[in-house]
Amino acid sequence: MIRRRFLWVLAAAWCATAAAQVTVTVSPVEAELRAGQARTFSASVKNAQDRTVQWLVNGVAGGNATIGTVTEGGRYTAPLVVPKANTVTVTAQAKADPKAKASAKVILLNPVPAISGTDPWAVNTALPFTMKLSGRSFVPGAFATFGGVKLATTYVSDTQLVVTGMTAAPPDSQVPLIVTNPNPGSAASSVRNVKVLPPVGVSVWPNNRTVRGGVELQLSHSISNNGNKGVKWYVNNVAGGNAVFGAIDAAGKYTAPLAAPSPPQVAVKAVSDADPKASATVAVKLLNALPVLDSVNPGTVAPGPVSFRVRGSGFVRGAVVRFGTETLTTTYLSPVELEAAGSVKPAPGGRAAVRVANPDPGGAESAMRVVPVEPARIVLTRTQASRFLEQAAWGATPELLARVQQVGREAFLAEQLAAPPSDYPDAQPNMGLSAVQRRFFSNAMTAPDQLRQRMAFALGQILVVSGVKTGSMEQMVPYQRILLRHAFGNFLDLLRDVTLSPAMGHFLDMVNNEKENPAKNLAPNENYARELLQLFTIGLHQLNADGTTVRDAAGNPVSAYTEETVKEFTKAFTGWTYAPRPGAASKWRNPSYFAAPMEPFETHHDTSAKALLNGVTLPAGQLARADLEAALRNIFEHPNVGPFISLRLIQHLVKSNPSPAYVARISAVFANNGSGVRGDLAAVARAILLDAEARPAGRSGQLPDAGQLREPVRLVLTLLRALDTRMIDEPSLASWADQMGQRLFYAPSVFNYYSPFYRIPGSGAGGPEFQILTPATAVNRANFAHRAVRNSLGGTVAVDITPFQLLASDPEALVEAVNHALLGGTMSSQLRQSILRAVGATTDLRTRARNALYLGAVSAEFQVAN
């Protein structure tokens, strides 16, 4: 019974099962989804108590990213990227019976793309562009159209595409941009309008700038109508430029070449990175570099042929080296080195400004370097030679100074003693002395016989003939020739020719001087005899060999002669008249004729005996010429003559207050030249100039009785020669000396322009030249210096201060050049500081040079020669 019951139940269960099989249905059974979209599917399970299902995609429980995913609730999400097989099956499987399941077919489609932005935001018309598209749902194979034209499209990601293309749409229009995803389910985005801009614009500035070689110019640029602001730079169409045209970097910094090309202008162009057809060009005018001079090798240059090198920077081909005012032949070696060759002259002040000048375009000079100019082998320093030429010449010129430095004092004196005399123009009747004055200054400025001229001028101030009475050319020229001819001769010969000079005869009344005739109440004129003794030869008092006065026991000066002596000499000089003019018969009181010595007329000569100096008596009955010769020799042999003439010559050549020992040494040479000859003026001049007292060590201007005030004629000449003044014509300089108190050839009296016996008030020191120094003439001395340094002395002389101006950028160098040019290197520190302060008060170089020279020339250190 139990077994039957079990079998019945089992059979009933089987029958029930067979009658109710589990089934699953899915809804919907088919769907289309775009990538990333979701759809919920429902599943129904029948004939099972467990009605839950498990969801699968293509048999994969829950699916995956490639085929899509499905949740337990049946929500299917399509993959972001449609698989190659774009149909998938979404299956619901009964958990009660895994065999019971149902599926839905899902067709996967690409998503609908969307554009959210573009970079750039606009494009230029007719310009190829590359654009980044930002958005979503981009798939491989997506493409963009731009105004209906398909663009080359590169898929980057589902959020980015890159497209390239070009549009011909007009500026300011809008072009539709659409992205289309491909099949399956090809779909287009909504339209995004892109603005069309005008062509790319490029601007560059500044324009038309001028740039020197090696100098940088920063150029700027701007780009319009495009977001790409980058440019590439070109110089004369060379990318980045080159050494010839100049270089430019990526930031627009242009560096000009040292040497300007030909033509001296370049075009600098900026080309847009966005559009190579878009560019802008500016012109840059180029000048050669500013040369910089660092050194000169060798550092000291000797006058004459030279060859040296200069180093620096910024040199270009065609650059020249300028040495003072001269331009030398220059060889270009490199931008930093040049070689100069040529011939240079001695420089005023012994210093030359060396510069390098680059040629045009923009020709310019470097700052100068000061180079000493010194002879290669010297025996005298500049100071020694300058001091010597103050005495042996009309002052130093640069050339003469260099010569004396090289040969020394004795050799120079030998040259001077051998030099032929300069001359004056032949006398013309009825002419004054202006032509003679002009020739005097011309000779003094340029003629080589400097010492002869100094001696002749000194002798002419001792043996005075003045244009005040002998103011015609035919009177003065023969007399000046006598002085020049005998300047290095014997003093006795000079005395003879001076005595017989018709100019002297006219000036001091010896011509036509009658012997005494009581019956006619005639007495001979004593002028010449008196001045010959007092001023020309022996002086009023007896002298010691050192020039000091001989005094008696009471301390009184001992007279050298008496009034009776003057009368006796007057007798000896009677009976002389002018020589007859050519072709005329001679007679007593011939008409004035100055071209030949006076001639004697015995009937008018006093033939009585004459008691002369030193107990000498001329016998009665001698002819006029014999008496004259004997009288002159009597004076010549007097012991006073040596110290008298020696003192006067020292005063004119060297110093106003020589020591007695100095005078004694020169007097001894006058008495005996070493060969037993008395009165040798060449030996005297040589002894004066070579004496130790003529060349003291250091500056002697601090001593109260040292040096001598430059008389106006000498002041004019010394200053102009120191400045290397050029003669354009025979100079009209006499008027300047006249304004300073010395009218050349017009001494106011037989005592000369100033008395040789004048002493400076309050000092006791001798200073003959100070007699003509007054407040008015002192102002005129300063005025002359002022006019000289400004080259305003008239058209016959040219004072060129350029050598000093070239040094003026360095005040110390300028003042040192003035020191050596005017003061022989002996400038005091006080004067130096004064001039430096004045120079520093202006930046104008010419004014600096003028002020320095002027202050040097008006200083006591220049006005009083040492």
Contacts of 762 (CB under 8 A, 6+ apart): none
Give me 80's structure tokens: 């972001």
Give me 7's structure tokens: 């079998």
pLDDT digits (tens, 9 = 90+) for 731-777: 889 999 999 999 999 999 999 999 999 999 988 899 999 999 999 99
pLDDT score at 102: 96
pLDDT score at 412: 98
pLDDT score at 146: 97
Instruction: Please tell me whether residues 52 and 92 are part of one structural domain.
Output: yes
pLDDT digits (tens, 9 = 90+) for 176-224: 999 999 999 999 999 999 999 999 999 999 999 999 999 999 999 999 9
CA terminus-to-terminus distance, the chain: 175
pLDDT score at 823: 97
Nearest Cα residue to 758 out of 656, 624, 647: 656
Residue 677 lies in a domain: no
Residue 187 lies in a domain: yes
Residue 130 lies in a domain: yes
Instruction: Please tell me whether residues 307 and 266 are part of one structural domain.
Output: no
Instruction: Please tell me whether residues 772 and 729 are part of one structural domain.
Output: yes
Give me 567's structure tokens: 């009368």
Instruction: Please tell me whether residues 190 and 334 are part of one structural domain.
Output: no
| Gyration radius of the chain's alpha carbons | 59
* Nearest-angstrom CA–CA distance, 854 and 790: 9
Give the alpha-carbon dihedral of 601, 606, 607, 608, to 10 degrees. Answer: 180
Q: In Å, how far are 130, 181, 703 from 121, measured between CA atoms?
A: 11, 22, 96
Give me 517's structure tokens: 């005739």
Residue 235 DSSP one-character state:
E
Residue 522 DSSP one-character state:
B
Instruction: Please tell me whether residues 501 and 630 are part of one structural domain.
Output: yes
CB burial string 446-456: b at 16+ within 10 A, e below: bbebbbbbbbb
Q: What pTM does this model have?
A: 0.80
Residue 434 lies in a domain: no
Cis peptide before 712 (omega within 30 of 0): no
* CA atoms within a 13 Å half-sphere pointing along the CA-CB vector of 141: 12
Contacts of 709 (CB under 8 A, 6+ apart): 656, 767, 769, 770, 773, 863, 864, 865
Using the 3D structure, point to which of 65, 94, 109 is the last residue of a domain. 109
Query: Quick check: 519 and 512 in contact, CB under 8 A?
Result: no
Using the 3D structure, point to which of 232, 254, 287 is the last residue of a domain. 287
pLDDT score at 46: 96
Residue 503 lies in a domain: yes
Give me 337's structure tokens: 């080195």
pLDDT digits (tens, 9 = 90+) for 244-254: 999 999 999 99
Beta-bridge partners for 64: 68
Ranges of residues in the chain whose predicted pLDDT is under 70:
1-19, 697-704
Instruction: Please tell me whether residues 738 and 847 are part of one structural domain.
Output: yes
Beta-bridge partners for 266: 284
* Nearest-angstrom CA–CA distance, 61 and 238: 69
Nearest Cα residue to 470 out of 594, 341, 649: 594
Residue 648 lies in a domain: no
Instruction: Please tell me whether residues 317 and 279 are part of one structural domain.
Output: no
pLDDT score at 697: 60
Give the alpha-carbon dihedral of 715, 654, 643, 690, to 10 degrees. Answer: -140
Distance of CA 179 to the CA centre of its chain: 75
Residue 828 lies in a domain: yes
The domain total for the chain is 6
* Nearest-angstrom CA–CA distance, 312 and 335: 8
Instruction: Please tell me whether residues 209 and 316 are part of one structural domain.
Output: no
* Nearest-angstrom CA–CA distance, 478 and 497: 10
**Other residues' Cβ atoms within 10 Å of the Cβ of residue 72:** 10
Q: In Å, how far are 26, 157, 458 from 463, measured between CA atoms?
A: 158, 123, 9
pLDDT score at 207: 96
* Nearest-angstrom CA–CA distance, 443 and 477: 14
Give me 513's structure tokens: 């001087």
pLDDT score at 695: 86
DSSP for 102-142 reads EEEEEEEEPPPPEEEEEESSEEETT--EEEEEEEE---TT-
Using the 3D structure, point to which of 109, 125, 156 is the last residue of a domain. 109
Residue 384 lies in a domain: no
DSSP for 550-581 reads PB-TTSPBPBS--HHHHHHHHHHT-SEEPPPP
Domain extent for 628: 496-638
SS3 category, 830: helix
H-only helix segments in 463-501 = 473-486, 491-499
Instruction: Please tell me whether residues 234 and 277 are part of one structural domain.
Output: yes
Instruction: Please classify residue 596 by burial: count the beta carbons closer than 10 Å to its beta carbon, then call 0-12 exposed, 13-18 middle and 19+ buried.
Output: middle
Residue 426 DSSP one-character state:
P
SS3 category, 279: strand
Instruction: Please tell me whether residues 606 and 523 are part of one structural domain.
Output: yes
Instruction: Please tell me whether residues 193 and 81 are part of one structural domain.
Output: no
Instruction: Please tell me whether residues 811 and 738 are part of one structural domain.
Output: yes
| Domain CATH number, residue 83 | 2.60.40.10
